[in-house]
């Protein structure tokens, strides 16, 4: 019986560390998106392309296809489909994922911040 309590405690401790981190914090991601990405990209109702493409439904979407944004040839011809992992890599180092992209952004090296932005973007995925 005492082993059951210990096992439960170990499992509970494990549930609150890497698994929670991997999911990200959408609220923190929204604040970071506004400061870091919002000058060029929009999401939500009424989002449209501006200095960068709108990002509603980005996960699962092929790169370079939204009709209200003029993409670089590099992005249009990249063959990239924005999976969560591919988008994380792009946020970290855009030019490593799509060489020749016009996106003027050095990237974010903090994996927690990337996960938070992704969690926020996931709230704009179609249901």
| Alpha helical stretches, state H, the chain | 2-15, 18-23, 26-36, 73-76, 84-92, 94-97, 111-122
- The pLDDT value recorded for residue 61 is 97
pLDDT at 114 over 50: yes
> pTM of the prediction?
0.81
Name which residue leads in pLDDT, 17 or 121: 121
Torsion of CA 16, 92, 36, 17, to 10 degrees: 0
- The pLDDT value recorded for residue 65 is 96
* Count of other CB atoms within 10 angstroms of residue 63: 23
pLDDT at 5 over 90: no
- Measure the CA–CA gap between 18 and 126, rounded to whole angstroms: 26
Q: What is the pLDDT of residues 47-105, one digit of tens each?
A: 999 999 999 999 999 999 999 999 999 999 999 999 999 999 999 999 999 999 999 99
pLDDT level of residue 22 (50, 70, 90 thresholds): low
* pLDDT over 90 percentage in the chain: 81
């Amino acid at each position: 019986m005492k082993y059951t309590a210990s096992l439960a405690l170990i499992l509970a401790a494990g549930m609150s560390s890497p698994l929670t981190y991997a999911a990200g914090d959408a609220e923190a991601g929204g604040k970071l998106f506004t400061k870091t990405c919002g000058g060029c990209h929009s999401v939500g109702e009424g989002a449209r392309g501006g200095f960068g493409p709108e990002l509603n439904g980005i996960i699962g979407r092929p790169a370079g296809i939204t009709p209200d944004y003029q993409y670089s040839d590099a992005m249009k011809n990249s063959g990239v489909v924005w999976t969560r992992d591919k988008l994380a890599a792009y946020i970290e180092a855009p030019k490593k994922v799509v060489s020749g992209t016009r996106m003027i952004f050095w990237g974010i090296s903090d994996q927690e911040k990337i996960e938070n932005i992704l969690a926020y973007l996931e709230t704009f995925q179609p249901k």
